[in-house]
Amino acid sequence: MIILSKLADYGVIVATHLAIYSDRRANAAAIAAETRLPPATVAKLLKALAHAELVSATRGANGGYRLARPASAISVAEVVSAIDGDIGLTQCSVHVDECTRTNYCPTRPHWAAINRAVGEALSAISLADMISPLAFVPPAALSAAART
């Protein structure tokens, strides 16, 4: 089973929430309340997303956070990377120097290919896709629904 960290999952929730409400700025407390995530966690995530230049922050009475680019221009991979760092399904694929088997492991080169495939899949999904109700409906199903 492939599992993202809880923080990366929450980061995608926060970024998707900002994509839904792209016409406004929201402070960390409001985002936490609206997403039902812990305020301290949301603040930490927003700081990481801002550091990665995925969200912008404005101070002041009318300040808050919003996406730094259109939702269609921010991939899920970028959000996950902003929170977790490099995408890797195994420890050795991200932390090569920490593995004592690196020089003779028969599966290591294959994990690199798998990591690339997963990274490409996450890169192909934008935040706009995440908020679109029809983004993942197969084209044939859309065509059939349009005919009825």
Residue pair 35/63 in contact by the 8 Å Cβ criterion: no
Mean pLDDT of 16-37: 95
In a domain, residue 66? The reply is: yes
The pLDDT of residue 115 is 83
| Number of folded domains that form the chain | 1
Whole-prediction pTM: 0.81
Nearest of 4, 127, 112, 136 to residue 66 by alpha carbon:
127
Residue 28 lies in a domain: yes
Residue 143 falls inside a structural domain: no
Q: Which of 79, 63, 54, 76 is nearest to 28 (CA)?
A: 63
| 17-35 mean pLDDT | 94
pLDDT reading at 26 higher than 80: yes
The domain that contains 20 carries what CATH number? Answer: 1.10.10.10
With a cut of 60, say whether residue 1 has pLDDT above it: no
> Would residue 18 count as lying in a domain?
yes
Please check whether residue 57 lies inside any domain of the structure.
yes
In a domain, 139, yes or no: no
Both tokens of residue 71? 């939702």
Residue 56 — very low, low, confident or very high, per pLDDT cuts 50/70/90? very high
pLDDT of residue 148: 63
Parent domain of 65:
6-134
Task: Please indicate, yes or no, if residue 142 is contained in any of the structural domains.
Answer: no
User: What is the SS3 assignment for 90?
Assistant: coil
- H/E stretch holding 91: helix 91-94
- Residue 123, both tokens: 């890169």
Structure confidence at residue 65 as a pLDDT band (50, 70, 90): very high
pLDDT at 140 over 80: no
Look at residue 144 and tell me if it is in a domain. Answer: no
| CA atoms of 85 and 106, how far apart (whole Å) | 25
